[in-house]
Structure 1
Amino acid sequence: MRRLVFISAVLILSLLSCAYYNTFYNAKKQFNSAEKSAAKNAPGTAITSSQRDLYEQSIKKASKVLTFHPNSKYVDDALFLMGKAYFRMEELGKARRKFEELLANYPQSKFRWEAYYLLGTVLYYMDEVPKARDALSAVIDPARKNRWADDAHFLMGEMALDNGDYQLALQEYSKVAEDYPDSELRSEAMFVIGESYFKLKNYREALTAFQEANRYELVGQRRYEIELRIGECYRQLNEHQKALETFERLARSDRYVDHLPEIRLQISEVHFLMGDTSQAIQEYHNIVKKSPQTKEAAWAYYQLGLIHMNSFDDMVKAKEYFDKSSSESSQSEAAKLASLRGNQIKKLEEYQQKVALPDSLQDSEARFALAEVYLLDVNWPDSALVYYQSVVELTPLSKYAPRSAYAAAWIVENVLGDTARSREMYQGLIASYPFSPSAQTARERLGQPAAVDSNMQNVAERFREAEDLLLKGSDVDGALALYSQIVTDFPHSPYAPKAGCALAWTLEYLKADPDSAMAIFKQLAQEYPDSECALLAQRKIASLSTEVSQDTAAVFSADTTSVASTDTTEQAPAIEEPEKVESESPEEEDADLDKEELEFDEPGGIPTKEQ
């Protein structure tokens, strides 16, 4: 009887064991079927609905092991399977919980290293980067040899790349390449090392990495990308013949027929860099002919436009090619760049027409704008220099003159490389326009201390003194003398046109000398064409009999609250004209003088644009 009971117990236990084993077996079978099917998907594509069904069935069956057999030896297997299934289904929160449950309750599980790796991956995708690093660090601990360490290093490198930290990325990928010579990720690590060096413009190291990656038995897209990069590295290193040989070899390969237009673009550019412009042009035309309505054709047209703009100075033909690029493949990057270039040429032509007009000698704004287009848009610094200098020479008292003087010195220093001449130009700027923000920036470039604005304070005080004399009516001649001193001694200060305007008004209305007043108005219109006073002067000249005393009085009033500020950090293009702050009575105490905040936009920190 006892023997019968024992046998019965054994049979029951065996059946129970068989039951939970069969449950897990079926879960694993469903999971493996899903994995096998998903492996056939194209890289980067989502799982299909049928694959999702298989993963969900595996989860349901594995969960029965946890519910009905919580003490069985398959619990950690079930937790791991469920975590991976949730991971494949991109249900990251649920995957995270299963991996954390496994690691907390079964720290010695045979799945722990892969679980740490997958947990780190999940946390990375959930943007919890610090926690992801902690999980991956457990995998790559040198004291713990496991097969997931190279994967963990690789993922750490990917995280660094996403953060723009190429140096850290290089360290992580280098560990994969150097410490795990048998790793399946080694060739990919070498490729990414090459890409990182390429982004850092270290083309020699990039070339070495790409050549090392090319030693592996790679096929398809990755092989093409590596060989193309090798050619690009040679080109960047000015080893043009090697670059040309590399690209020509790719063009002859039957494996890369689908990439032939892109390869021919590379060949065209190398021919241009080697000085064979005619061959480059022929290559670009062949691309357009053989691959119409493609992004490569759009790029070929764009490059043809650049060649005619920069090499032949043929803006008409250049714009024609830019327009063709925009219509060839309207959504391509080349089309967007071509559209931008076309607009730049249009703007350039507009300003060229303005400065060609008979009365354009005094149009400082148009000349300055044309110089800006030449420098910043079409990358013709020599032409920009000519027009910047013309602003200073033809309209030395305009608000664009100090800015143009600075830009001209910057070009001489940074483009022409003539530091001795640029220093002289900066010194000339400081001497001619000592109160301008341009002068302050020039002092900084020369290592000189900031200017003490005692002169500006002096000018402001003289202007206020002249104004008080007129308001009190006590000494008109004294006021005239002060206004004349400001115009003569400080022609570049923001008070000069104001003082000139006040001088003309006083002569006309208080001294009954309209002829002298008219002469001063004409001089103001000529020497300060951008000032508010110039507009008044022009109206006065146009209509000699028009009563303008009320307008004039408003214009020459000094701004006593904004003239003495020393802040020159804000940079935008205008010297604001001082305006008077009204006082209740002549006896009211003067407000504290603040130097006017002079706004200026310097090109000095802006490098020449690349094509």
Structure 2
Amino acid sequence: MISEFNSKIIKSLCLLVFLQACAYFNTFYNAQEHYQMAEKIRMENFGNKLPSKAIQEYQSAIEKSEKVLTEYGDSKYVQDALLLKGRSHFFKREYDSAKEAFNQLKDSEESFFQNETKYWLALCKWKDLRPQPAINDLKDLLDRTELVDLESRIYLTLGEIYLEIDRPDSAFQFLDRGAKTASSRLTREQIYFQIAELSYGNELYQQASDNYKNVLINTISVSRIRESNLKIIQTYRLLGDLDEAKRRIEQLLLDENFNSIKGKLRLELAKIELDRNNLDFAIQSLDQVAQDNQNTEVAVEAYYLLGNSFLKSPNIDFERAIFFMDQGMKQNFNSPYKIIISNKRDSVNKIIALTKDSEEDITNNPSILYGIAEILAFDIGNTYEALDYFERIINSHVESDFYTKSLFAAYSIYNKKNALEGDQYKEIILKQYPQSDYAKMIIENEQLNIQHEPSELLLTAESLWAVDQKKSLSVYRQILDKDSSTLSSNIAAYFLAYYYDYELSQKDSAIVYYQWIKEKHPSSDQGIIAQKRLEALNVE
């Protein structure tokens, strides 16, 4: 009888233990389920804001993990629950709470939890804006671990940190290592995407395209699939394979899964027509894209391209360029293109003001032609269009003050493009204006074995001053007679003015040189000082 009673007690105790084990296992299992669901949502939305559903799932994982810790504190799932809780806080950007959970794992006797703790605490340092301590901890952990999965995650994180602190070479080094070692599909996808973005930013378009294709093989993120397909199309266009780019666009336009980026795809089609120089068709396409996608980034870029198309030959029309730029600025969407549009619009308005101020045909006015060319070349960046205006001055206004300026500007533009056309302008400057500052800049730029006489005379005058001031003054005056437009003449005149003004107190002689500077170099630093000194000397 007693034996039967004891047997029932033992069975009851065993059942109680079993049920308790089931309870904490089920609680932890539920926590894992919520975490995995949150991770699935996060991975599907890589590159976008974390959806509220994912945040809710992470919160449920935290609550279930906390229940394991408080109600089943001596179970074997405590360390797993702490790790899961810390990760969930991390992805919710609750870094202090994440650190609190990870720090409780520091004293774990299991190497797995020790390594994971170090890894996640390093990530918390990074997110707390302490990138260098995070880098140091991750590199230290990298030296200590032989776990391939952890190594690849460390490589990925180091790559991301180096990208963030603008050290792309170091970023690429670690991302490349990660790509070679990653066994996790998720890690591979993240690494390939970062390499692709880095390559694209450095104009390594073939390398970028290859890595975006690797992203497509590994990702489950809908946004990454769309973004990578779009970037692959852009790389084909930038590499000059316009047919393949167009084929891919047309294929995606038929797929309803890409409806959300149809505007961007149609914008790419219009860019292809621009690249093919089908300007009229491209302009119509861009206008339609802008109309169909009002108040979006697509519309802003389309209007930017439309404005730009009317700043290039053969469609130069400053008024129409302004119209489309204005439309771009009116879009209710913040875009980096708005900054570019705003700057260009200001420059184009200056050109329009120049042309409106003239009552005569601008082709007869070298000052206006030069002003337009200067704005096109140096403010807007349309150098080929600027060349047309510079060369009008060169061909029709040889006696103008803007002739030599235009010669040098045309030479500089062609020289930057390594075009032989610049040689003709170089020869004119060196032969007809050998003592000009333009000749000096060409000599220095091309390291020619030619002396620039005003510069040599200035060096001579300066070196003579300590031994023969009379002879030095004579050389300074000689510089003024060589070419009054040079920097050397400006320096020489100011030296003479200062010498007669402050050293000899010969007011009349000083005034002569101050007036010479004011007339020849009014906008220079010396010219401004000369004007003020003349006013002090009561000279009108």
Same fold, TM exceeding 0.5? yes
Instruction: Report what 2:35 is aligned to.
Output: 35
Counterpart code for 1:87: F
* Contact 1:117–1:136 (Cα < 8 Å) also in 2: yes
Question: Per-residue deviation at 1:268?
Answer: 0.8
Q: 1:161 aligns with which of 163, 171, 180?
A: 163
Which one is further off, 247-256 or 352-361? 352-361
Unaligned runs of 5+ in 1: 467-478, 504-508, 511-519, 539-549, 557-611
Alignment correspondent of 1:280? 282
Q: Is the 8 A contact 1:430 1:442 kept in 2?
A: no
- Corresponding residue for 1:248? 250
Q: CA deviation at 1:348?
A: 1.5
Counterpart check, 1:319 vs 2:322: yes
Could you tell which deviates more after superposition, 19-28 or 118-127? 19-28
Contact 2:297-2:335 within 8 A present in 1 as well: yes
| Aligned equivalent of 2:387, options 372, 382, 387 | 382
Instruction: Please identify which structure carries the higher helix content.
Output: 2
Q: Say yes or no: does 1:62 pair with 2:62.
A: no
With over 3 angstroms needed to count, the CA separation of the structure-2 counterparts of 1:81 and 1:248, relative to structure 1, is closer
Instruction: State the distance in 1 between where 2:56 and 2:206 align.
Output: 48
Contact 2:61 2:85 in 1 (8 A): no
Q: 1:118 to 1:247 in 2, by over 3 A?
A: same
**Residues 207/81 of structure 1: CA separation in 2 closer, same or farther (3 Å cut):** closer
The within-5 A match list for 1:75-94 is 76-77=79-80, 79-94=82-97
Q: Any idea what the Cα deviations from partners look like across 1:74-115, whole Å, max 9, x if unmatched? A: 654454355345435534244335434524442435x44544
* Structure number with higher relative contact order (C-alpha < 8 Å, ≥ 6 residues apart): 1
Question: Which residue identity lines up with residue 257 of structure 1 in the other structure?
Answer: N
CA offset at residue 339 of structure 1? 3.1
Say if 1:207 and 1:233, in contact at 8 Å, map to a contact too.
yes
Q: Please list every run of 5 or more consecutive structure 2 residues that lacks an aligned counterpart in the other structure.
A: 501-506
Alpha carbons of structure 1 residues 60 and 246: separation in structure 2 relative to 1, 3 Å: closer
Q: Deviations along 1:295-344, whole A, 9 cap, x unmatched?
A: 32333232222222203111122222222222244633444433332221
Which residue number corresponds to residue 354 of structure 2?
351
Tell me whether 1:443 sits opposite 2:444 in the alignment: yes
Does structure 2 conserve the Cα–Cα contact (< 8 Å) formed by 1:487 and 1:496? yes
- Partner amino acid, structure 2, of 1:59: E
What is the CA–CA distance in structure 2 between the aligned matches of 1:531 and 1:377, rounded to whole Å?
Answer: 21
Tell me the equivalent position of 2:224.
222
Match of 1:576 in 2: none
Q: Matched residue of 1:90: which SS?
A: coil
1:522-578 residue CA offsets vs partner (Å, 9 max, x unmatched): 99998667689999xx9xxxxxxxxxxx8595669xxxxxxxxxxxxxxxxxxxxxx
Contact 1:533/1:555, CA 8 A, preserved across alignment? no
Aligned partner of residue 432 in structure 1, secondary structure:
coil
Q: Please, which moves more after superposition, 168-177 or 451-460?
A: 451-460
Where does residue 542 of structure 1 map in the other structure? none
Cα distance between partner residues in 2 of 1:320 and 1:387:
27
Q: What CA distance in whole angstroms lies between the structure 2 residues aligned with 1:178 and 1:484? A: 71
Cα distance in structure 1, aligned partners of 2:18 and 2:88: 24
Please say if residues 435 and 482 of structure 2, whose CA atoms lie closer than 8 Å, have aligned partners that are also in contact.
no
The residue number in structure 2 matching 1:144 is 146
Offset at 1:251? 1.9
Aligned residues with identical type, % of pairs: 19
**Of residues 264, 268, 288 in structure 2, which corresponds to 1:266?**
268
In structure 2, distance between residues paired with 1:354 and 1:455: 47
Corresponding residue number in structure 1 for 2:128: 126
Say if 1:371 and 1:387, in contact at 8 Å, map to a contact too. Answer: no
Which residue in 2 is equivalent to 1:199? 201
Residue 308 of structure 1 is matched in structure 2 by 310
Separation (CA, whole Å) in 2 of partners of 1:154 and 1:459: 65
Q: 1:342 aligned to 2:345?
A: yes
Following the alignment from structure 1 to structure 2, what is the Cα–Cα distance between the partners of residues 288 and 177? 39
CA contact under 8 A between 2:118 and 2:141: conserved in structure 1? yes
**In the alignment, does 2:332 pair up with 1:332?**
no
Quote the offset at 1:260 in angstroms.
1.4
Query: Contact between 1:251 and 1:260, CA under 8 Å: does it hold in 2?
Result: yes
Deviations, residues 226-261 of structure 1 (Å, cap 9, x unaligned): 222222111111111222212222222222222211
Q: 1:41 and 1:217 mapped to 2: Cα distance?
A: 13
Larger-Rg structure:
1
Q: 1:394 aligned to 400, 410, 415, which one?
A: 400
Post-superposition offset of 1:197:
2.1
Query: C-alpha displacement at 1:58, in angstroms?
Result: 3.7
**Which whole-Å CA distance do the structure 1 matches of 2:100 and 2:176 have between them?**
32
Q: Which moved more, 1:25-34 or 1:413-422?
A: 25-34
Matched residue, 2:98:
95
Residue 455 and residue 171 in structure 1: after superposition, are their counterparts in 2 closer, same or farther (change >3 A)? closer
Kindly indicate whether the alpha-carbon contact (under 8 Å) linking 1:247 and 1:263 is maintained by their aligned counterparts in 2: yes
Given that 1:123 and 1:129 are in contact with CA atoms closer than 8 Å, whether structure 2 keeps it comes out as yes
Q: Determine the structure 2 residue equivalent to 1:582.
A: none
Change beyond 3 A, Cα 1:497–1:394:
farther
Match status 1:454 vs 2:459:
yes
Distance 1:14 1:124, change over 3 A: farther
Alpha-carbon spacing, 1:425–1:118, altered in 2? closer, same or farther (3 Å): farther
Take 1:21 and 1:429, find their aligned partners in 2: how far apart are those partners? 98
Cα distance between partner residues in 1 of 2:16 and 2:211 = 57
**Alpha-carbon separation, structure 1, partners of 2:16 and 2:398:** 98
Hey, what's the Cα distance between the residues in 2 that align with 1:483 and 1:147?
A: 75
C-alpha distance in 1 between matches for 2:118 and 2:539: 76
Q: 1:402 to 1:496 in 2, by over 3 A?
A: farther
Structure-2 change in CA distance of 1:56 and 1:392 (3 Å):
farther
Show CA shifts across 1:240-292 (max 9, x none): 12222122222222222222111111011111211222221221232234334
> Residue type of the partner of 1:253?
D
The one-letter code of the counterpart of 1:350 is A
Q: Is the CA contact (8 Å cut-off) linking 2:185 and 2:219 kept in structure 1?
A: no
Q: Indicate conservation of the 8 Å contact 1:59/1:81, yes or no.
A: no
Distance of aligned partners of 1:113 and 1:27 in 2 relative to their CA distance in 1, 3 Å threshold: farther
Name the TM-score, length of structure 2 as normaliser: 0.71
SS at match of 1:102: coil
Q: Secondary structure, in 3 states, of the residue corresponding to 2:301?
A: helix
CA pair 250-413 structure 1, distance change in 2 beyond 3 A: same
2:192 aligned to 182, 186, 190, which one? 190
Q: How does 1:13-28 map to 2 (within 5 A)?
A: 28=28
Letter in 1 for 2:109: Y
Q: How far apart are the structure 2 equivalents of 1:142 and 1:521?
A: 74
Distance 1:341 1:444 in 2: 30
The more displaced of 147-156 and 43-52 is 43-52
CA contact (8 A) 2:37 2:57 kept: no
What is the CA–CA distance in structure 2 between the aligned matches of 1:533 and 1:184, rounded to whole Å?
A: 65
Deviation at 1:216, TM superposition (A): 5.4
Equivalent positions of 1:502-513 (< 5 A) are none
Residues 114 and 499 of structure 1, relative CA distance in 2, 3 Å threshold:
closer
Q: Secondary structure at the match of 2:111?
A: coil
